[in-house]
Structure 1
């Protein structure tokens, strides 16, 4: 590796855990970073869970990540909106991840003339809430989406996710949302701000070309694609950009 990396951003699903089990070498890599004094954050585009929930879920998989070392699209969204409109109001569709983050950012939750309509990930999108969102956007609320993923995994097969519901709302309102999560490089930039990191000395590990790698390149990071999740070697050829390194898994980063 030609540049010294002193901070790391790593995706969670497909990189550290796969189907609720720790990827071999993942726990050891985090221990290695701690021993070397490297700062790191674990990132996820999923806005359902709070950092506390995610920390507990990772612990059950055998991976120790305290909640202050987790960075979600919900936290990135709340940080962005706190900067844009401190003390603002929002109508939020989503679970504890986004509602808690917005509360902690000082926002008022309301369905009466909010500044923003925020669409996050949820297991059950209510037709009533979507209808309310459409009417509020039509009335002038700004439309924000936590992450663009159009489907999510389930044991029975793919589920429609935030990006798919956002497309429905856009179709009804003719208003495109601002999307905060990957592949928006803002997700990585806000994570680096939290770490006090500089892009020149920050590495990013992900398992997807279309979100992790492209956002990492745009944020100026040292990008590593691991093949323990979604991407395969054949996938890399389909994109007009390349990660800096391709590894089988995070185990390849152990000394």
Structure 2
């Protein structure tokens, strides 16, 4: 099934590494892809870091990746705003790294009277910021979010993520956001535009059913679930979202690691 694939869309945490620990199968797997004429792109829903920051993180683990081989849900959201909401003023709940990415893209970030309230992974969130976001959503601002993940996995377990903050805004306002990132079609469209690959030439690999595997299942892309992250075989049995392939780790796909 994988012999005809040209592009491997790889999740990061839980797929090629866990926390600060690089999986031993990762580097042989990546080398195999390049040696056989394929390509890979790292895609994460975690918009708290920029592509440049992720490039440095991957390099610190010895993982070869150029900026063009890294994408985040923040990048997808920026492209949407530049294409369809270019003159809009945006109230952003996000990290300083994400704010910098938006400003560099020429997006107008404001604190008052926004056209759009955009909620992301914000490790500096305060009651004042949430109340401000709710006020403007309640009064007609468009409600968007970079990604739907409710928790972000960390060494100690989980951190509150974008989807949980959105749930609070929804509870207060009755408004539901438009999400980007995995598993939404805008993500796949951006990958296709950047790489020139068609859906049948791609495979998405990750550890989360509701984002990684759903990106494939909902959009006609072959999907591979790795059991090195948050999902178990028992989870698959009870889920409506089914991967095309299940492996214990990415090394099993091409026998590149034990």
Per the normalisation by structure 1, the TM-score is 0.93
List gaps (5 residues or longer) in structure 1: none
> For residue 34 of structure 1, what is the aligned residue in structure 2?
34
**Residues 175-186 of structure 1 correspond to what in structure 2 (within 5 A)?**
175-186=175-186
Say if 1:243 and 1:153 are closer, same or farther in 2 by CA, change over 3 A: closer
Query: In the aligned structure 2, how far is the partner of 1:182 from the partner of 1:76?
Result: 10
Query: In the aligned structure 2, how far is the partner of 1:5 from the partner of 1:97?
Result: 33
Query: In the aligned structure 1, how far is the partner of 2:65 from the partner of 2:253?
Result: 18
Query: In the aligned structure 1, how far is the partner of 2:21 from the partner of 2:254?
Result: 19
Conserved 8 A contact 2:16-2:22: yes
> Is residue 117 of structure 2 the alignment partner of residue 112 of structure 1?
no
Q: Which whole-Å deviations, capped at 9, do the CAs of 1:157-196 have from their partners, x for residues lacking one?
A: 4332211111111111111110112232332332222211
Conserved 8 A contact 2:145-2:180: yes
List gaps (5 residues or longer) in structure 2: none
Conserved 8 A contact 2:210-2:241: no
Per the normalisation by structure 2, the TM-score is 0.92
Q: Which whole-Å deviations, capped at 9, do the CAs of 1:76-115 have from their partners, x for residues lacking one?
A: 1111121211232211110144323322332111123222
> For residue 237 of structure 1, what is the aligned residue in structure 2?
237
> For residue 6 of structure 2, what is the aligned residue in structure 1?
6
> For residue 123 of structure 1, what is the aligned residue in structure 2?
123
> For residue 210 of structure 2, what is the aligned residue in structure 1?
210
Conserved 8 A contact 1:42-1:69: yes
Aligned residue pairs total 255
Query: In the aligned structure 1, how far is the partner of 2:202 from the partner of 2:157?
Result: 35
> For residue 56 of structure 2, what is the aligned residue in structure 1?
56
Conserved 8 A contact 2:207-2:227: yes
Q: Which whole-Å deviations, capped at 9, do the CAs of 1:20-74 have from their partners, x for residues lacking one?
A: 1111221222222223332321011101001111111112222122222111011
> Is residue 148 of structure 2 the alignment partner of residue 153 of structure 1?
no
Conserved 8 A contact 2:95-2:124: no
Say if 1:38 and 1:47 are closer, same or farther in 2 by CA, change over 3 A: same
> How large is the Cα RMSD of the aligned pairs?
1.8
